[in-house]
Amino acid sequence: MVFSKLFFIYFFLPLCLFAYALAKGTKAKNIVLIIFSLIFYAWGEPVYVFLMLFSAFVNYIAAIVIGKHKDTKIDTLATTLAVIYDFAMLGIFKYSGFIVENINALFSSDIPVPDIKLPIGISFYTFQTVSYIIDCHWETVKVQKKFSNFLLYLTLFPQLIAGPIVRYSTIEKEIENRKIYLTDISYGLNRIVLGLSKKVLLSNQLSIIADTFLKNIDDASVVGAWFGAIAYSLQVYFDFSGYSDIAIGLGRIFGFHFDENFRHPFICKDITEFWQRWHISLSTFFRDYLLYVPIFGKRRKYGGLFLVWLCTGIWHGASWNFILWGIYYGIFVFLEMLIGKKKMKKIPIVIRHIYNKIVIVVGFAIFYFENLNHLGTFFKTAFGFGSNGVIGLQDKITFMNNIFLIIVAIICCFPIIEGLKKLTDKNAFTKHTASLVTTFVSVVLLLLTSVMLVDATTNPFLYFRF
């Protein structure tokens, strides 16, 4: 099931909210959420829902064993086996075909390539189970003794399909003890509408521009290649941050406070800051669980850094472009570490912004082209070695037809809402007025989004495939 579907917005969600409101007590409300979460997942994955349930059971049992045998070999063994199981499942379903293809290419063998459908959201819920198991091992969270509570944590539908990666510690207390206020409901609904608007009104429209140039990269000019890559960068941002907004808003309605996953990444001054603002739940996961892993017996600063970025690329997909993409960002973060924060700050801010925006846009181009030949064509075209000139008629027409969309998208990359909130929170009158205006704007945006979705055939979130 997809958030940006009229069926979800006007049937599934209202039905879930109605059942949730009727349920008395946290225990009953949790049961309602589990049922609706399993229906939500099974709607698109009727078979793989059992895989998720089995993974939940395996990790639940492993955590129970860890809790009963703290600081023993059994604790370590249970942790190791659980993590191996989690990554083995992810490896089989996500990477087995890629691995076999490359073995065949390298050794000229003819091993049958597995054609396994990727379970939706497996990358996200796998990382949640891994983080939970390791945190239990490190004793940073208490082992959840009720399977229903752990199942709720893992299957909670707001973040089940495409994150953010919610740590168990984030909602540990709220699973059994949470309160919902009118302000939570108001905030949640406005956040949901904001996310839907990002997806439907911005991301979906930007995808048309991106595909116009990048899908036909052989025919693109220099300007066309850059225009397409910039449009794709904005498309991915509004798509994924929009999903995160919806997830956070839904969570708030049900009494859960998820951490932010995006903090206006395009206003960053360097690449390191970009990754402190982009997909925060993933970058902090690798930072906390992988960066300080001993390599050849020692914790190695730069070795850990490149391991993190290699895994970041691999996490995103079973394709060489994602591996290159991870290493690409790792190199720039490494270079910024060598330069140092103090020296980076001495570089004129304009130069820093130009530098990091070029790096980011090129990074998204690498992310887009799974075909390395097409990626090579993009680089030749973008840097003036193509055969289609600097600018073409298609570039001018597309830009003029979408100039309003581009301007709105760029403006929406800035923390406009946060800035307005600071201004309106100064006194009760402006705060009340802002609340009324926000409600009105949300209603208008919801109507516009609904109209756009009437004729939409399919509009899945990009991170569904990761």
Q: Is 316 noted as a catalytic residue in this protein? A: yes
316, 353, 374, 432: which is the annotated catalytic residue? 316
Of 324-333, 407-416, 455-464, least confident by mean pLDDT is 455-464
Domain ranges of the chain: 6-178, 183-465
Percentage of residues in the chain with pLDDT exceeding 70? 97
Concatenating the DSSP letter of every residue in 156-210 gives -HHHHTT-----HHHHTGGGTS----HHHHHHHHHHHHHHHHIIIIIIHHHHHHH
What pLDDT score does 393 carry? Answer: 87
Q: Whole-model pTM above 0.75?
A: yes
Instruction: Supply angle C-alpha 294, 297, 303, rounded to 5.
Output: 50
Q: Is the pLDDT of residue 343 over 80?
A: yes
Phi, psi of 70 (to 5 degrees): -60, 140
SS3 assignment, position 162? coil
Q: Which residue has the higher pLDDT, 268 or 463?
A: 268
* Structure confidence at residue 445 as a pLDDT band (50, 70, 90): very high
Contact yes or no for 388/220 (Cβ under 8 A): yes
For residues 343 and 336, give the distance between their C-alpha atoms in angstroms, rounded to a whole number. 9
Q: What is the pLDDT of residues 274-319, one digit of tens each?
A: 999 999 999 999 989 987 777 666 777 788 888 999 999 999 988 9
Concatenating the DSSP letter of every residue in 306-374 gives HHHHHHHHHHH-SSHHHHHHHHHHHHHHHHHHHH-HHHHHHS-HHHHHHHHHHHHHHHHHHHH--SHHH
Q: What is the pLDDT of residues 234-286, one digit of tens each?
A: 999 999 999 999 999 999 999 999 999 999 999 999 999 999 999 999 999 99
Closest of 47, 16, 44, 45 to residue 32, by C-alpha: 16
What pLDDT score does 161 carry? Answer: 80
The mean per-residue pLDDT over the stretch 427-451 comes to 90
Concatenating the DSSP letter of every residue in 53-68 gives HHHHHHHHHHHHHHHH
What pLDDT score does 426 carry? Answer: 80
Contact yes or no for 402/248 (Cβ under 8 A): no
The amino acid at residue 314 is I
The mean per-residue pLDDT over the stretch 33-58 comes to 91
Torsion angle (degrees, nearest 10) of CA 190, 191, 193, 198: 140
Two structure tokens written together for 106: 């390298």
